[in-house]
Chain A
Amino acid sequence: MSELAIRADRLTKRYGETLAVDGVDLAIPQGQFFGLLGPNGAGKTSTIHMLSTLIRPTSGEAAVMGHSVRTEPLAVRRNIGVVFQEAALDRTLSVAENLRFAGALNDLPRREVLRRSAELLRLFGLSERRDHVAGALSGGMRRALDIARGVIHQPRLLFLDEPTIGLDVPNRRAIWRHIARLRNELGITVLLTTHYLEEAVDCDEVAFLNQGRIVRRGNPRALIEQLGAYIVEVETPRPKDLAEQLTPRLGPALVEGDRLQFCCNREPAELAALQAELAVTAQAVHWRRPNLNDVFLWVNQQDASQKRAA
């Protein structure tokens, strides 16, 4: 059996009264593209910080590339790259100087740093900016530089904490292209967190984190498929009545204000008939393919109803 990139057993972090991470188990093989998903405050960042040895777990244990995060923090840090939510860059130094500084902190010889910098800057389209001050770069270019900074020492495992947060759509796409290139060209294991759930659909595996616990895990496409063929959305002034009326045919409803959602495996023709039937009682009826946001919403819905049942 090949060594796991990350193994976590009952990893827990408590800040005073708040339980930020509550007994998380992980087993991530090398080379995997793993997504840790969930809303803000779900415990994603705390998990990454424990795995990268920046904070100590309150309880539980984790090994990164076979090294314990508790007893061998330096060995762990030698094997990982971390891109934080906020840039780990010196805004007063140039692009090239930032990479040189990061390389030297990882004990790389100057010549090696220069070679890898040139390569990474080319990969990320930053070659022409190498002498620009980091503080003068646009948000997207700064994030790209920060990712280059995170992989200058060729780590075997890269943590990306919300890599596309605060970026506009073109820049978000560019960052995803950069990450794909790193995975293809360096074969690097990537653990990423994001609350833009739809961005994680290309991951090999995802885990949904909510209030510090993993509530669902699996291959993102398989999770979407399991949910059903279509999400039917009904807008109505009387959501409660309509939910009761439709549940026998479409399954349980997810109510959000005056909107109802069902996930079902009906044929489009049946749904068109339903649309005609509801033309009087509902303001609008749509159906569409489900995505990871729906998976997350429905997982929470099931959780809540299970809790009610218990």
Chain B
Amino acid sequence: MILRPTFAVLEREVLKLLRQRGRLLSSMVRPLLWLLVIGAGLGAVKAAHGEPAYQTFLVPGVLGMTLLFGGMLAALSTVNDRESGVMRMLVIAPIAHYWIVLAKALAATCAALLQAALLLVILALTGYLSAQVSVPLLVAGLIGTALASASLGMLVAAFSPTLDNYATLMNLVIFPVFFLSGSLYPVQQLPYMLRLVASLNPYTYGVDLLKHAAVAGATATHDPDFALTLDFAVLIGFSVVALGIAAARFSRDNANEPLIHRLANSPRA
């Protein structure tokens, strides 16, 4: 059966996250910096122009940020697993190799959700979560965004033979995805080119779903940019396609040959 191996991969991911205090702490500090520092700063500028509270607008954005960073970093750890021994354990197990991709994506989704849940508690305690939050939509938005982020991470991981530079990854993949979305500003108010790119970014629809859940109806600028059905369709569709490509890439005949070949010719041998 496939359940026990899948659960083992999930368990390992969560265990690792809980042990890496620094990773967990930074996944809380990053969104709170945006919300409490940048949000307050820009909020003050906007308030001077008579615009509504920017910090409230940022709540779905920072929730999305936690999911995006958490999901992508966990998924991208697959590349490091290849370098460490873990991938050897996985490829020799009696499970189909495409399933490794799906199990890792599920594990990354769980890791992201765990971090977002922690942030939600902090937001609720500090009063940043309004009372009119729609719980079913919030749950759907969190899961959908986490899954899409994890899938994006798996897609990048499937095409990265090595991951030697954390900064490159942050600057070339994660930050662009974050900035080119509706996390920090309403997509409809963006200049045409940016609006176009943001509309092509699947993560945009995750944040939009979170806006439906958390801030819809507060003021006009806080309103979501897209319809609920479109958000769902894009998140699910993107995840399915990305994971399909990643799984196909990973389970093709020679997916592990670079690894295997390197092992066979390792200088230690």
Contact = CB atoms under 8 A, between A and B. Distances in A.
B253 to A, nearest CB: 5
Interface residues of A, number: 41
A82 B85 contact: no
A226 interface: no
- Most central of B16, B84, B93, B260 by chain A CB within 10 Å: B93
Contacts of B261: 15
B94 A90 contact: no
- Most central of A46, A105, A106 by chain B CB within 10 Å: A105
Interface string A35-79: 000001100011001001011100000000000000000110110
A288 interface: no
A84 B263 contact: yes
B5 A54 contact: no
B94 A74 contact: yes
Given A88-B88, A92-B16, A105 B263 contact: no
A86 B88 contact: yes
B260 A54 contact: yes
B258 to A, nearest CB: 11
A77 B92 contact: yes
Contact of A149 (B8, B89, B263): B89
Interface in A88-109: 88-93, 97, 100-102, 104-109
Contacts of B257: 55
Q: Is the interface of A mostly helix, strand, loop or mixed?
A: loop
A88 B16 CA distance: 17
A165 interface: yes
A86 B89 CA distance: 11
A162 interface: yes
Contacts of B86: 88-90
A85 interface: yes
Interface string B7-26: 11001100110010000000
Contacts of A45: 260, 263-264, 269
B220 to A, nearest CB: 49
Contacts of B96: 74
Given A54-B256, A104-B4, A40 B269 contact: yes
A85 B266 contact: yes
A257 interface: no
A88 B92 contact: yes
A197 to B, nearest CB: 15
Interface of A: 15, 20, 40-41, 45-46, 49, 52, 54-56, 74-75, 77-78, 82, 84-93, 97, 100-102, 104-109, 146, 149, 162, 165-166
10 contacts: A49-B264, A54-B91, A54-B260, A55-B260, A77-B93, A101-B8, A104-B4, A104-B11, A106-B93, A165-B269
Given A77-B93, A82-B92, A86-B88, 11 more contacts: A20-B264, A40-B269, A54-B260, A75-B94, A84-B85, A85-B269, A91-B84, A92-B19, A105-B5, A105-B93, A107-B4
Interface of B: 1, 4-5, 7-8, 11-12, 15-16, 19, 84-86, 88-96, 253-254, 256-257, 260-261, 263-266, 268-269
